[in-house]
Amino acid sequence: MQALPVPGTERYEVELTLDGPGGVTGECDCPYGLEGNFCKHLVALGLKVLAERESLPRQRKAARERAQDLDGWLSALSKDELLALLREQIDEDRQLRRRLELRAASVRGDLAAVRVRIRGLLDVGPFAQYGYVEYADARAYADQAGQAVSAIRALTGSGRAADAITLAREAMRLLAEAAESVDDSDGWLGQIGADLADAHLDACRAARPDPEQLARWLVGHALGDIDDGLTDIDPLDYEDVLGEEGIAVLWKSAVEAWRGNRRGWAEKYLMERLAKAGGDVDAVIAVHAADLSPNGHTHLVIARELDTARRPDEALRWAERGIQETRDLAAVDTALVDYLCERYTQADRLSDAVAVRGDHFRARRSLTAYQQLRAAARAADCWPAERGEALALLRADAERRQEGRNGDPVLVDALLDDKDVDAAWQAATQTGGHDRQWLALADQARPARPADALGVYLRLAEPLTKQTGNAIYERLVSLLLSIRDCHRCLETEDEFAVYVTALRTAQKRKRNLMRLMDEQGL
């Protein structure tokens, strides 16, 4: 392991291990390094080590000697001299003073004093400017808050786990309140919260508090609104502490809370968690069924739970009910439609799958719904009839759009997707089409109808000549290549040459466009 000074704008602690079992590894307390990445600071340290590799043995030896000298000097000091040295450091280092004061209070059994010092460690005041801890100071605050967790763990280790439980719960509340005033972009407080939850669980395992009271506290904590997710405690982690008696109270309290607020997210989540852990599928279903979403999503969730429980008939009924109870099929959860049609296909109920896809298409009339209807109808060998009805609807949409009414018709897209180029061309001519549809039409029609395609490409290219930007130039060059292909099919290359010459003359100031045209031989 090597530590060398590396210049930079921020101070980070970087450790590089050169000869570990995994090769070169390292740790850095910068945000990127804390995610387990080999950050640029480690790279910089590695480069410095390489640059000074010849002096590394000497530096390591010197470091060992300094450590031995320091240890020898401290060992030779008397008690009074050591105390004087320690007092000197306490006067200079506020953090060290707080840690030692907290440790002293713990040893004395002074719970009030420990509580005061933990409150001080969780106070954002010393780090806050204008009442808020900025990003640059969040790490320092988190380091101080982490000392509160260490103090609570120390209480458990010294045989005072009951006090540790009390202080851990107070610390959770204080940390949640503090989080509202801290820029925790890097998640420091989230880690402190997780450590605090672990400390509370360890204390409960050591102290063995009353299981009924613990169960009620766990439910209250799970349903409370002050935690803000910092201490994400799972009540089931306490199963060994609660025992059968506590688990029964936990379940009863959760049920009561859920019945009082069946639509509450926290109540639903807790009930679902407990029911799944207990293997009670019917209870899980009851939780979801009490608050069904209007788009059928909850019906799908229930169906999948029943599938997992190997109750496929009930699952299918719930999925069918979801479609029936959805007030607006245009807004239905498409995953529910897919699920139901898949189940119908597996059961060889192909006509039912077509019916569902047909209803969904008529409500939504999108290209995707058209494609799904086509796939289902082909499998049921009834696509010609279904296609006729579907296209009639899309044609009516296109005509309404032509009259200035609202709508986003997909008639041309559907015909193109069917590879019916002639019908798509006719539809676009009669009812209009978007530029992207005309471009797709020209691309598909070019081999058989080069003159028609040429007209489309020329029309689409003309407005681009008045615009600038590399993306515009790339689109224009792509169109020019298609125009050239049409002229080749028509054997009118001379006309294309005249067109390109005129274009170059008019656009000669656009150097990037000229470069792209040169690259394509235009």
At 6, list the tokens: 């590396």
User: Using CA atoms, how far apart are residues 105 and 82, in angstroms rounded to an integer?
Assistant: 21
Could you tell me if 391 and 367 are in contact, meaning their C-beta atoms sit under 8 angstroms apart? no
> Which regions in the chain score pLDDT beneath 50?
1-3, 405-407
Host H or E run for residue 269: helix 265-277
Euclidean distance between CA atoms 36 and 154, whole angstroms: 28
Rounded CA-CA distance 440/197 in Å is 59
Q: What pairs with residue 337 in β-bridges?
A: none
CA dihedral of 505, 506, 511, 513, whole degrees rounded to 10? -100
Buried b / exposed e along 436-450 (16+ C-beta atoms within 10 A)? ebbbbbbebbbeebb
CB atoms near residue 307 (< 10 Å)? 17
pLDDT in tens, 268-286: 888 988 888 888 899 999 9
Burial class (CB in 10 A: 0-12, 13-18, 19+), 89: exposed
Query: What's the pTM?
Result: 0.67
Query: What are the DSSP calls for 418-483, one per residue?
Result: TT-HHHHHHHHHHH---HHHHHHHHHHHTTT-HHHHHHHHHHHHHHHTT--SHHHHHHHHHHHHHH
Closest to 118 measured CA to CA, from 151, 162, 96, 165: 151
Q: Are 153 and 168 in contact (CB under 8 A)?
A: no
Which one, of 385, 394, 386, 384, lies nearest residue 416 by Cα?
Answer: 394
Place of tokens 């003073």: 97
379 near 343, Cβ under 8 Å?
Answer: no
Q: Give the span between the Cα atoms of 196 and 113, in whole angstroms.
A: 19
pLDDT (0 to 100) of residue 389: 94
Residue 143: which of 37, 34, 9, 27 has the closest Cα? 34
CB distance 385 to 373 below 8 Å? no
Number of Cβ atoms within 10 Å of the Cβ of 334: 16
Element (H, E) at 18: strand 14-20
* Residue with token string 């009271």: 213
Angle in degrees, 0-180, between the axes of helices 111-121 and 161-179, rounded to the nearest 10: 30
**Tokens matching residue 11:** 């101070």
User: Is the CA virtual torsion 482, 488, 489, 490 positive or negative?
Assistant: positive
φ and ψ of 294, to 5 deg = -70, -10
Residue 96 CA from chain centroid, whole number: 39
**Rounded distance, CA 496 to CA 486, Å?**
9
Specify the amino acid at residue 339: Y
Nearest one of 47, 49, 27 to 37, comparing CA atoms: 27
Angle at 111 between CA 109 and CA 114, to 5 degrees: 100
Q: What is the pLDDT of residue 407?
A: 43
Q: What angle do CA 169, 170, 172 make, to 5 degrees?
A: 65
User: How many contiguous H segments (helices) and E segments (strands) does the chain have?
Assistant: 26, 2
Cβ atoms of 215 and 246 within 8 Å: the answer is: yes
Tell me the backbone φ, ψ of residue 14, rounded to 5 degrees: -120, 130
Q: What is the pLDDT of residues 96-125, one digit of tens each?
A: 777 777 777 766 667 788 888 889 889 988
Backbone Cα Rg of the chain: 36
Question: Could you tell me if 243 and 211 are in contact, meaning their C-beta atoms sit under 8 angstroms apart?
Answer: yes
